[in-house]
Amino acid sequence: GENVEQHPSTLSVQEGDSAVIKCTYSDSASNYFPWYKQELGKRPQLIIDIRSNVGEKKDQRIAVTLNKTAKHFSLHITETQPEDSAVYFCAATTTNFGNEKLTFGTGTRLTIIP
Amino acid sequence: NAGVTQTPKFQVLKTGQSMTLQCAQDMNHEYMSWYRQDPGMGLRLIHYSVGAGITDQGEVPNGYNVSRSTTEDFPLRLLSAAPSQTSVYFCASSRINYGYTFGSGTRLTVV
């Protein structure tokens, strides 16, 4: 089955600096890669996603890149703000004949230092 | 449009008791799933369903049952609760190969 590794497990950055979280996956059939943000005590929420036919996607201060050959994808947050502090999860989805399996990474706790 | 509704929000069970966690969505999503979240373990898939009448096991299915009689509902049953099942449980739904919408979670403690 799919295995998703996520690094680092914790990350602290100064407010205004950039943060990068990296994930690798094992199943070359994975074709959809969402990122979720989970604030303390709340549910995970989708913040950005990328499909396997796209190399990069951007939404305001966040961007995701995908390297299918190397099987890794990354989340980039620029001009970080205190409200970016949360746990971030990457995930990889494999879809076969309408059957879908999504595997999460173990999460990165991002702390923005004011 | 309520999204994904999960009940209860909190539950305390005694070892050996059974219970059902309810999950309902009103977005006509084909895909529904249950995850448990433990500190340092991320989100682990318990069971999932790609449509009414179809369910399959995830990574950690032991001790749990599911059924999907309608598109909207996907209850999770704990057969005989054990302390190892103390966790936060999330239900999620989506269209196939799209991002998930999560419920608000159930914090379960088994004593």
Q: pLDDT for A70-87, tens place per residue?
A: 999 999 999 999 999 999
Confidence band for B41, pLDDT divided at 50, 70 and 90: confident
A107–chain B Cβ distance below 8 A for any pair:
yes
Contact A43 B105 (CB under 8 A): yes
Whether residue A44 lies within 8 A of chain B, CB to CB, comes out as yes
Task: Give the phi and the psi of residue B100 in degrees, each rounded to 5.
Answer: -80, 150
Gap between the Cα atoms of A75 and A63, Å rounded: 6
The string of pLDDT tens digits covering residues A8-62 is 999 999 999 999 999 999 999 899 999 999 999 999 999 999 998 889 999 999 9
B47 neighbors B55 (Cβ within 8 angstroms): yes
Q: Which residues of B touch A44 (CB under 8 A)?
A: 43, 90, 100, 102
Chain B residues whose beta carbon lies within 8 Å of the beta carbon of residue A104: 35, 42-44
